[in-house]
Amino acid sequence: MSTKNSKKETVCIIGLGYVGLPLAIRAKEQGYDVIGLELDKNKVELINKKISPIEDAFLKEKIPLFPIKATTNEREIKKADIVLICVPTPVDSFHNPNLAPVRNACEMVAGNLKKGALVVLESTVNPGVSEEVVRPIFEKHKHKIGQDVFIAHCPERINPGDPKWNVTNIPRVVGAFTKKGLQKAQSFYESIVDGKIKPMKHIREAEACKVVENSFRDINIAFVNELAKSFDAMNIDVKDVIDGAATKPFSFMAHYPSCGIGGHCIPVDPYYLIERAKQAGFDHKFLRTSRTINNSMPEYTVELLQDKLNEIKMPLNGTVVGLAGIAYKSNVDDDRESPYYEIVNALKKHKAEIISFDPYLKNKSTCKSLKTLLEKSDAIILVTDHKEFKTIDGKLLKENGVKVIIDGKNCLNKNNIKKFNVIYKGIGR
Ligand SMILES: NC(=O)c1ccc[n+]([C@@H]2O[C@H](COP(=O)([O-])OP(=O)(O)OC[C@H]3O[C@@H](n4cnc5c(N)ncnc54)[C@H](O)[C@@H]3O)[C@@H](O)[C@H]2O)c1
């Protein structure tokens, strides 16, 4: 195997989650000595046993081949020539950005730094965090930027569960405070990523790229979610329309409506931009509206169920509603910000009896299998388009006495289901 790290440098990754762990394994694969620092002792234990704490094909395959040393000991940072910070950047219940994990990680790194190390923030942040939060922490610890420490930002773009794009081939953008820092960061990423690494003129621009990418998705999804509601009122199948529009080979990009957006990125990152712009005196009206539309989808999904149950004179109160899927997207075990939770809240308001099954989150499911979920349910909401749910058809629903299905991901065959006299309703179809 050819590796790209001829100097045998040591890389320390702070935070071994969906972002940090694949990165750590990739750096090891490319010949670096790798230390992974992680607060969660369970994760540390599993990783040191070469077991992936995350359900992911790339990680399952690569961890045994390129094992890394995981630790909770922050003094290990002293050994690192390159430190990559991959900690969470959540929002609180009022959608205010919470930069405490980034601050804590920076304090830890600044307090244990090898002179001349490259420190890269990979976490998604709003423009200004490197200058306003990261830099002052290193300066407080008396590190001279560009001499004692080189600080860069390279926002992570990984898409967990994606069979084509992963940490090895996704192109990256990178920004830094100094020319030398930028060169160091660019050359490090070129040694681990086969895709292009684009240097940005300013660290703030690198930060902005990531929030723009995810805000772009949020806005486009909000548009089709709004179309779904409008087309429901006009009895038009939005999925068919989008598929039709997508035959235009230029200036159109298909996005699809659903029961809600989840994950640690799209429903979170736009708030970082909204809030920072607010401090600068700008109101991101368009983004705020998109967030409101997308946040309304779980409740809308439950309203659709209520309407369909009304047609057969069943109240939601007391009806057993089976939720197929807990994770926010197909074939992953990640339930952060999943619309599942808001759907549960809306169903609880109507006193529905809720049961659930997710093959990737069995410990959070109330049923042991899809079979049991279907057997026990009067109605189903498909929350996640896991491959295991693609077998749901009219015959199976009818046999199990399911009367209504709300297809929250528009991934089932509506005509087949209707043929068996089961009430089908998708999101905008
Ligand atoms: N999940 C994604 O698909 C994705 C994609 C691109 C970018 N991002 C961004 O990457 C960042 C990380 O996201 P993630 O999904 O990997 O989060 P995660 O929660 O899966 O992983 C972060 C890990 O960091 C650990 N941690 C927190 N503080 C720490 C500290 N001080 N020292 C050591 N470990 C610490 C946590 O225990 C956790 O295991 C976020 O900013 C996110 O927005 C995520």
Strand runs labelled E in 56-143:
69-71, 82-85, 117-121
Helix (H, G, I), strand (E, B) or coil at 78: helix
**Mutation test residue for ligand 1: of 264, 328, 333, 337, the one with most atoms within 8 Å of CB:** 264
3-state helix, strand, coil in the chain (%, to 5): 45, 15, 45
Is 265 annotated as catalytic? yes
Tell me whether domains 10-201 and 202-429 share a fold. Answer: yes
Q: Are 202 and 232 in contact (CB under 8 A)?
A: no
pLDDT given at position 216:
98
pLDDT given at position 133:
98
The ligand 1 atom nearest the CA atom of 72: 33
Helix (H, G, I), strand (E, B) or coil at 5: coil
| Closest residue by CA, ligand 1 atom 26 | 15
Q: What is the DSSP letter of 390?
A: T
C-alpha to C-alpha distance for 231 and 224, rounded to whole angstroms: 10
Strand runs labelled E in 229-346:
320-324
Average of per-residue pLDDT across 384-411: 98
Confidence at 3, pLDDT banded by 50, 70, 90: low
| Closest residue by CA, ligand 1 atom 33 | 38
Q: Are 258 and 298 in contact (CB under 8 A)?
A: no
What's the CA-to-centroid distance between 98 and ligand 1, angstroms? 13
pLDDT in tens, 76-93: 999 999 999 999 999 999
Average of per-residue pLDDT across 49-73: 94
Average of per-residue pLDDT across 41-66: 95
Q: Which residues contact residue 348 at a Cβ distance below 8 angstroms, ignoring those fewer than 6 apart?
A: 354
The enclosing H or E element of 23 equals helix 20-29
The answer to whether domain 202-429 has CATH 2.60.40.3710 is: no
What's the CA-to-centroid distance between 279 and ligand 1, angstroms? 25
Average of per-residue pLDDT across 216-233: 98
**b/e map 85-95, b = 16+ CB within 10 Å:** bbbbbbbeeeb
Topology of the domain covering 10-201: Rossmann fold (3.40.50)
What's the CA-to-centroid distance between 278 and ligand 1, angstroms? 25
Confidence at 158, pLDDT banded by 50, 70, 90: very high
Catalytic residue selected from 86, 209, 259, 265: 265
pLDDT given at position 120:
98
**Mutation test residue for ligand 1: of 13, 16, 18, the one with most atoms within 8 Å of CB:** 18
pLDDT given at position 418:
97
In the structure encoding, which two tokens stand for residue 176, read together? 């830094």
Q: Are 36 and 84 in contact (CB under 8 A)?
A: no
**Mutation test residue for ligand 1: of 12, 38, 87, the one with most atoms within 8 Å of CB:** 87
pLDDT given at position 2:
47
Average of per-residue pLDDT across 216-224: 98
pLDDT in tens, 161-194: 888 999 999 999 999 999 999 999 999 999 999 9
What's the CA-to-centroid distance between 36 and ligand 1, angstroms? 12
Domain segments of the chain as ranges: 10-201, 202-429
pLDDT over threshold 90, residue 56: no
pLDDT over threshold 80, residue 37: yes
C-alpha to C-alpha distance for 380 and 401, rounded to whole angstroms: 11
pLDDT given at position 1:
43
What's the CA-to-centroid distance between 340 and ligand 1, angstroms? 21
